[in-house]
């Protein structure tokens, strides 16, 4: 089941995200960042346990970003990630956002969901907001993709 995250989920969200961040697969987040952005997060719960997390962060009047998409390894390949991306897109559409983007090391996953590869330079606010904190900056090896929401 997918649901909006609540405060009590913050530490588990942090643990899931930073597990993958420690492997160099996403940006580290602080507990402060999780608390400040808890309204952006959704969780996928199985039998009361969080199996995956994602967030939809509004960047501009017509643009949102899917961030921090992570599924625990024991729950991978079950469609959880795809379900969470579709939920983020649904929420973006509900908010009248026209485009959703992501930066990822697994572009084929997002392509299967209708995202298209674009140049990262389309998102200068992202580069100077989050990417500058990344240890790989400025040699980013992630792929930028965008999904255009139909009216």
Please report, for the chain, how many H helices and E strands are present, in that order: 5, 7
- Is residue 122 within 8 A of residue 145, CB to CB? The reply is no
Contacts of 40 (CB under 8 A, 6+ apart): 55, 56, 57, 58, 67
- Looking at the whole model, is its pTM more than 0.85? yes
Measure the CA–CA gap between 147 and 14, rounded to whole angstroms.
Answer: 26
pLDDT of residue 151: 65
Q: Decide if pLDDT at 124 tops 60.
A: no
pLDDT digits (tens, 9 = 90+) for 40-50: 999 999 999 99
Measure the CA–CA gap between 29 and 74, rounded to whole angstroms.
Answer: 22
Architecture in CATH for domain 2-148: 3-Layer(aba) Sandwich (3.40)
Domain ranges of the chain: 2-148
Bridge partner residues of 45 (DSSP)? 50
pLDDT of residue 27: 86
């Amino acid at each position: 089941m997918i649901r909006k995250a609540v405060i009590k989920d913050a530490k588990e969200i942090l643990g899931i995200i930073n597990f993958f961040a420690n492997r160099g697969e996403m940006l580290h987040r602080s507990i402060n960042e999780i608390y400040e952005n808890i309204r952006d997060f959704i969780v996928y719960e199985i039998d009361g346990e969080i199996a995956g997390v994602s967030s939809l962060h509004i960047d501009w009047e017509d643009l949102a970003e899917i961030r921090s998409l992570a599924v625990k390894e024991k729950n991978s390949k079950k469609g959880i990630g795809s379900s969470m991306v579709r939920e983020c897109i649904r929420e973006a559409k509900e908010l009248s956002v026209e485009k959703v983007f992501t930066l990822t090391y697994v572009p084929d996953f997002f392509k299967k969901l209708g995202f298209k590869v674009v140049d990262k330079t389309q998102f200068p606010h992202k580069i100077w907001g989050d990417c500058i904190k990344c240890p790989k900056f400025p040699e980013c090896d992630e792929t930028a993709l965008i999904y255009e929401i139909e009216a």
